[in-house]
Amino acid sequence: MDHAEALGLIEAYADGELDTARAAAFETHLESCASCREALDAWMAERNAVRSALDLGSAPQALRERIRAATVDATPRRRSAPAWAMQAAALAGVAILSSGATFAVMQTAHQDRIQTLFDATMRAEDPGRRIEIASTDKHTVKPWLDQRLDFAPPVDNFAAQGFPLIGGRLDYVEGRRAAVLVYGRRKHFIDVYLRPSGDAPAPPASADRRGFHLIGWRHAGFDYWAVSDVDASELKALHSLLDSPPPSNASTPGA
Amino acid sequence: MPERPLDTSEGWVLETRRFERLVLPHLDAAWRLARWLTRNEADAEDLVQEAYVRAWRFFSSLRGDDAKPWLMRIVRNCWYSRARTEAGRGRATSLEDAEAEVEAVLQAQAEPDGAEHRLIRIEDTALVRRAMDGLPDEFREVLVLREVEDMAYRDLAETVGVPIGTVMSRLSRARKLLGERVRRLSEEAGHGSR
């Protein structure tokens, strides 16, 4: 390493950002170059002076207490739809105005439902909202849901396939109560919304919002929607499992 | 519909503990950044509180266990969305003007008979703070995050939302301009150069 190159690397070296090989080459040059040693010393002294001037110490104790009260000590509450959801709804509205009337009505219902599902999943991001019955045991989750619904959703745990059941909750899709099964996928959650198929045809759906994916399908008398920030391909894998659970997992054998 | 067992559910308790363990310990760092962005204590406190409420609400968007870059990003994003609506940036040089000023400094230093570079010293604290207040937001944030918070270039890039190369050149220019402004303030104050 020559002198000019070493001079140009002082800043990155002092910040600890050179890779091992370059740092070693720099240090080798340093041993033989008094002017670079002096420049590095000066640089470090200046940095220390700046650091001590800019370090304003700790946050006030009163702020610490206010922040605890506003976060971990607060009671969770429902929040309104996020601004992006409003914007998405407005954009969807604009798109619909420009298309044919019948199609528009169908599309609107379809878009509304998708929006509802994204909203519900976003709401579930609030701490404590996602899971009302926390259990990996389908024999705990299923009765909890059955008691609160006028239908009996199939519940399975796919832990062996990498989609462990974590729990469930109740939510609403277009004003009707739906079961939500919550699955884990590495550090992410997947919300699976379930309700009995209505009379209206449920178009197969897939949509994306802000890093969240949704897929919808109909199977064995139920409409399913899986919503999550995991990869869309992982949602499809869970879809396959839900449609044909491996025999050892099946909630109602033979059904 | 049955009452939701929100505040006693297992998930709620676990999330709360995780937030306490990962996010609350960075309160001092959040405050120092906010203090330099807003340039006063009252606004800094408001900004930190706003940022923490957001962090709490969107806690599930944290990936991994290192919450510092994530939290710092929320703080600075809150500041930028505020600064757009309020005339809070009036006292600082714009990034454009600052870049031009750095260019001029670099040219002057490149000349053989250019003025000798006066180094910032530990007794310059008051001057450094005054000079810092006049730097653009984009310079102040990288300076405080690197010099005080010791954040790596990679984490700075994540926090500020620019490529690593941009972080490096911005940080370098911010340091140059801070040095130049301190030198100028020092001359104005009659301390003279070394």
Q: How far apart are CA B22 and CA B55, in angstroms?
A: 11
Cβ atoms of A153 and A223 closer than 8 Å: no
Supply the pLDDT for residue B82: 78
Give the gap in angstroms from C-alpha A198 to the nearest C-alpha of chain B: 21
A105, A137 contact by CB (below 8 A):
no
* Residue from A160, A167, A169, A149 nearest A222 by CA: A149
| pLDDT tens for each residue of A36-92 | 999 999 999 999 999 999 999 999 999 999 999 888 887 554 333 444 444 454 545
Q: Give the pLDDT band (50/70/90) at residue B6.
A: very low
Which residues from chain A sit within 8 angstroms of residue B28, using beta carbons?
Answer: 57-59
pLDDT of residue A117: 87
Average pLDDT value for residue range B160-165: 93
Q: Between residues B174 and A102, which one has the greater pLDDT? A: B174
Residue B115 is given by DSSP the state P
A207 to chain B, closest Cα gap in Å:
20
pLDDT, position B182? 93
Range B150-159 average pLDDT: 94
Taking CA–CA distances from B127, the nearest residue in chain A reads: A53
Q: How confident is the model at residue B115, as a pLDDT?
A: 53
pLDDT at A95 over 70: no
Check residue A249 and give its pLDDT. 61
Instruction: Evaluate if residue B114 carries a pLDDT over 60.
Output: no
* Token digits of residue A228: 């999550």
Residue A179 has pLDDT above 60, yes or no: yes
Mutate to test the interface with B, among A18, A38, A46 (most CBs of B within 10 A): A46
Chain A residue numbers with beta carbons less than 8 Å from the beta carbon of B71 are: none
- pLDDT 10s digits, A196-239: 887 666 667 888 887 889 999 888 888 899 999 888 899 999 99
Cα–Cα distance, B52 to B151 (Å, whole number): 20
Q: Which residue of A has its CA nearest to B117?
A: A42
In the stretch 146-205 of chain A, residues with CB closer than 8 A to chain B read 148, 167, 170, 177, 187, 189
Q: What is the mean pLDDT of residues B49-64?
A: 89
* Pairs of CB atoms within 8 A across A/B: 144
d(CA A10, CA A38): 11
**Is the model more confident about B102 or about A91?**
B102
Average pLDDT over residues B83-97: 67
Those residues whose C-beta lies under 8 Å from the C-beta of residue B184, and which sit 6 or more positions away, are: none
Q: What pLDDT band is residue A103 in, cutting at 50, 70 and 90?
A: very low
Residue B89 pLDDT exceeds 60: no
Is residue B110 pLDDT above 80, yes or no?
A: no
Q: Using a CB-CB distance cutoff of 8 angstroms, which residues of chain A are in contact with residue B146? A: 15
Partner-chain residue, chosen from A47, A64, A76, that has the shortest CB–CB distance to B147: A47
Q: Which of A3-7, A172-176, B83-87 has the highest mean pLDDT?
A: A3-7
ipTM metric: 0.87
- The residue of chain A nearest to residue B147, with distances taken between CA atoms, is A51
pLDDT at B7 (0 to 100): 42
A241 backbone dihedrals φ, ψ, rounded to 5°: -65, -40
